[in-house]
Amino acid sequence: MLKLNGNYLKMPGSYLFAEVARRAAAFSGAHPGADVIKLGIGDVTLPLPRACVDALKRAADEMGSKDTFMGYGPYEGYDFLREAIVEHDYAPYGAKIGADELFISDGAKGDCGNIGDIFSQDCVVAVCDPVYPVYVDANAMSGRAGDFADGRWDNIVYMPCTSDNGFFPALPERVPDLIYLCFPNNPTGMAATREQLRPWVDYANEHGSVILYDAAYRAYMTDPSLPRSIYEIPGAENCAIEFGSFSKTAGFTGTRCGWTVIPRALRRGGESLYDMWMRHQSTKYNGTSYVIQRAAEAVYSPEGQAQVAEMIGYYMENARVIRQGLSAAGLETYGGSDSPYIWFRAPEGQDSWSFFDRLLSEAQVVTTPGSGFGPSGEGFIRVTAFGDAARTREAVERIKSIL
């Protein structure tokens, strides 16, 4: 008798952003004239940089001619893109990563979830709390999370990130096999320093754990002293896998391109994790679209770099407006200076969903309730800087007006 993957059946109800969208739609349905501003889901709104559009069109023309047509590409991605990423995103920061340690993919989200496939189902997973839901959900679906009750999985190591510890986790007592870290963090908007990351690399190397480092928001760091990559920390090449993305760096949320770094030095049980992931990708993936890889390469051209800097500057001005506006209104506010996310405490001890509902009904602003990211997110709200500048200013004024 055919059996299903029972782990799927343990999953709690709907995905956080689906519930946010449902409540927003219900409100708009009940108030047809309402002018709702969405600062909830972390999707970008500015167009793709012109350099990327032009590269995409040039690549499309290449595909249209027999002499320049590209069929199946390398599972790990084309060298032109792997080399461009290394040259611009690793080498300048002293991270000794080679192009032959990168896998190009259709986005970091899939890789963050699928990377678990090369590890045993018995591995113990640690996550920050609050956390991007994909890390937990993907591992729960693979049977690593145990059972779900009262907002927690009983086999996940939750590492609280609260105002008490500056939203940076303490080393866990129970040693995890896999440790997800994301900095600048989604949802708290806090970046990590070298001094904060170093003990984690040492801890992982001491215990044989593997750090899964999500650097999807690195382009939003403004403080030059902050590390852009886990590989700026000595020893990380022996214990860390890093995920990168063009989604937020260059507006690729709907275009889809990212990468995963697995250093050749990273081995466990005598096996190369690079080789294991290559086995995964060659069997379950068929390479990232050639034209999309050409569009991503253009991010690193001089024009692309200028256009991306302008785009990020636009969003970071939104972040400043939100952060300063909400702080000035007396809200306890975090993030937004090295990250596109602002994390603030709901006033008067209100819980996340209550204040989410109030912001929606009284200010017509859609946010994301912090409790949706984990137990320690309760009482917080996440706002994103990816909106239109004028609408973002308007949203901040509306929020202030209801406090």
Q: Which of residues 299-318 bind a copy of itself (CB under 8 A)?
A: none
Which of 271, 310, 362, 397 contacts a copy of itself by CB under 8 A?
271
* Residue 255: strand, helix, or coil: coil
Orientation angle between helical segments 16-30 and 352-363, nearest 10 degrees = 30
Listed in sequence order, the residues at least 6 apart from 121 whose beta carbon sits closer than 8 Å to its beta carbon are 142, 143, 144
* Neighbour-count burial of 61, counting CB atoms closer than 10 A to its CB (0-12 exposed, 13-18 middle, 19+ buried): exposed
Considering beta carbons, is residue 111 or 129 the nearer one to a copy of itself?
Answer: 111
Is residue 326 a contact residue for a copy of itself (CB under 8 A)? no
Considering beta carbons, is residue 11 or 402 the nearer one to a copy of itself?
Answer: 11
Considering beta carbons, is residue 58 or 88 the nearer one to a copy of itself?
Answer: 58
Amino acid, single-letter form, for residue 152: R
Rounded to whole angstroms, the Cα distance separating 182 from 135 reads: 10
Is residue 79 a contact residue for a copy of itself (CB under 8 A)? no
Scanning residues 114 to 143, which ones bind a copy of itself (CB under 8 A)? 114, 117-123, 134, 137-138, 141
> Please, how many CA atoms are within 13 Å of residue 175, restricted to the half-sphere of its CB?
10
Which of 39, 250, 292, 299 contacts a copy of itself by CB under 8 A?
292
Structure-token pair, residue 254: 């709907």
Which of 21, 63, 171, 389 contacts a copy of itself by CB under 8 A?
63
Structural contact between residues 315 and 189, judged by C-beta atoms closer than 8 angstroms:
no
Dihedral sign from CA coordinates of 157, 246, 193, 206: positive
- Which DSSP category does 238 fall into? G
Which of 102, 145, 190, 210 contacts a copy of itself by CB under 8 A?
210
Rounded to whole angstroms, the Cα distance separating 96 from 80 reads: 18
Scanning residues 221 to 260, which ones bind a copy of itself (CB under 8 A)? 251, 253-256
Distance of CA 274 to the CA centre of its chain: 22
Scanning residues 22 to 41, which ones bind a copy of itself (CB under 8 A)? 41
Considering beta carbons, is residue 29 or 71 the nearer one to a copy of itself?
Answer: 71
Least distance CB 260 / a copy of itself (angstroms): 14
Which of 165, 286, 324, 354 contacts a copy of itself by CB under 8 A?
286
Is residue 329 a contact residue for a copy of itself (CB under 8 A)? no
Considering beta carbons, is residue 50 or 194 the nearer one to a copy of itself?
Answer: 50
Considering beta carbons, is residue 69 or 80 the nearer one to a copy of itself?
Answer: 69
